Amino acid sequence: MMLKKKDIWNQITRNLESKLPKPDFKTWFSRTTLQKLEPGQAVIGVPNKYVSNWLQEKYLPEITKSFKKILKQEPDIYFSHQKPPEKKSSPSATPIEKRDPTFKHFLDPSMTFHRFIMGKGNRFARSSSIEVAKGSNNDYNPLYIYCHMGLGKTHLLHAIGNYIISNDPSPRIRYLTSDTFTADFSYSSKNKKLHEFRERYCGLDVLLFDDVHLLDNRKRTQEEFLSIFNALHGRRKRVVVAGQRPPTHLKNLNSQLKSRLGSGLITEIQVPDQMTKIDIIKNTTKEQGIHIPEDVVFFLANTNNDIKTLMKNIIKIGTYASLNQRTINISTVKSFMKGKNKIEIDIDDIKSMIAEYFNISVMDLVSDKKRRSFSYPRQLAMYLARKYTRLSFKEIGTSFGNKDHSTVIYAVQRIEKCKEQKNVRDDLMKIENLLG
């Protein structure tokens, strides 16, 4: 009887596979079984309640049609999943899981709406983000934010998450970059843990996804992200995505994914005007306890449109003036910023700075030496190269002594996982400040 049920289910799933997009089929049907088959009734085994709810809501008609085609009958379809034993007797199992202290949201608590300086170029993006954080408008799902590097899209993603958990800590919220997602997918695929990977993301209440433009040309990762997006969106969970270009301009992105990303609200953060930059400079200097004369404030506001770089320069100028006991004036600022005001950072700059910071040679940095005194700086350098340059994993690997792209993916994943640790966080902050 077991063989018969297995054979029947194989025929039914093959029929379903021919009608559904491949990533959707893999996500929702790869771990299903036909547990029970009686006249007028079929029980399908699924791994968890999320899959059960999704199949019930989205695929029940297709499953019924497949049964009719294979068995010439339309049984009532039921879904069954086993609950973990320790949660079986607890009616509050789900809320406890949601408040799991081991769950990591990867939010930066300093990035809030309160600290986001509003101006003409970002007013709509900020107000839309607040609406999403409040959960008051489902028409904004998904919310897609785009802008050039350093104008505040990442800040808004964190602000949404921080607002939600400040009002209710129970939702499962996660901020992640496309590189983190890619590295996690690659590791899970290689180690046959894809079902855990899918459950991890499909079980979220809010997904805050950054740098979607870096998914260009990653076909399998795009398919996986699309399936997870569909799962969350279908369960009316909030999805916020940020990138450097609008969805229609992401040429190497899956057409279905582009369509999904553009199906909600799209908002752009524009280059800040002079008054917004002045407000940002004044707010930053006040927070940092740095006194900058009014004429220097106006001068700085004209030096850069990249808010992230502008803020870093302010802090560096303040530190420099304090250490050298110098008055901050336009002449001092000009001298200090000469040649250091680059938005684009070259990979050789990163390697040189890392080598100098850790007091090792660049040759040791790109070598195959496995001692932590070399491997840790190397991983940091690869992580920063991926973050600040437009180079692919393969190109970064080539620059580090012709290493395989998987080595770079592992390095990025390793630092992403460890960057909440104090020593790693401090190293990254100091190095990024030096890089400017």
pLDDT at 86 over 70: no
Question: Residue 249, Cβ neighbours under 10 Å: how many?
Answer: 12
- Could you give the angle at which helices 405-418 and 178-190 cross, rounded to 10 degrees? 110
pLDDT in tens, 163-200: 999 988 889 999 999 888 988 998 999 998 999 999 99
Q: How many CA atoms are closer than 13 Å to the CA of 214, on its beta-carbon side? A: 22
Q: Poorest-confidence range of 59-73, 122-136, 144-158, 327-341?
A: 327-341
Q: Check residue 84 and give its pLDDT.
A: 46
pLDDT at 293 over 80: yes
pLDDT in tens, 391-401: 889 889 988 98
Contact status, residue 424 vs residue 412, Cβ threshold 8 Å? no
Cα separation of 1 and 412, whole Å?
49
Contact status, residue 416 vs residue 383, Cβ threshold 8 Å? yes
pLDDT at 103 over 70: yes
Task: Quickly list DSSP for 159-206.
Answer: HHHHHHHHH-S-S-EEEEEHHHHHHHHHHHHHTT-HHHHHHHHHT-SE
pLDDT in tens, 320-368: 777 667 778 888 787 766 644 444 567 887 888 888 788 788 888 988 8
Structural domains present in the chain: 2-83 (3.30.300.180), 123-268 (3.40.50.300), 274-337 (1.10.8.60), 347-435 (1.10.1750.10)
Q: β-strand 33-38 against 41-45: which pairing, if any? A: antiparallel
Q: What are phi and psi of 36, to 5 degrees?
A: -150, 135
pLDDT at 30 over 90: no
Average pLDDT over residues 406-416: 92
Contact status, residue 298 vs residue 281, Cβ threshold 8 Å? no
pLDDT at 253 over 60: yes
Q: What pTM was computed for the model?
A: 0.60
Mean pLDDT of the chain: 84
Q: Which of 21-35, 261-275, 310-324 has the highest mean pLDDT?
A: 261-275
The DSSP bridge partners found for residue 79 are 44
pLDDT in tens, 109-120: 888 999 898 888
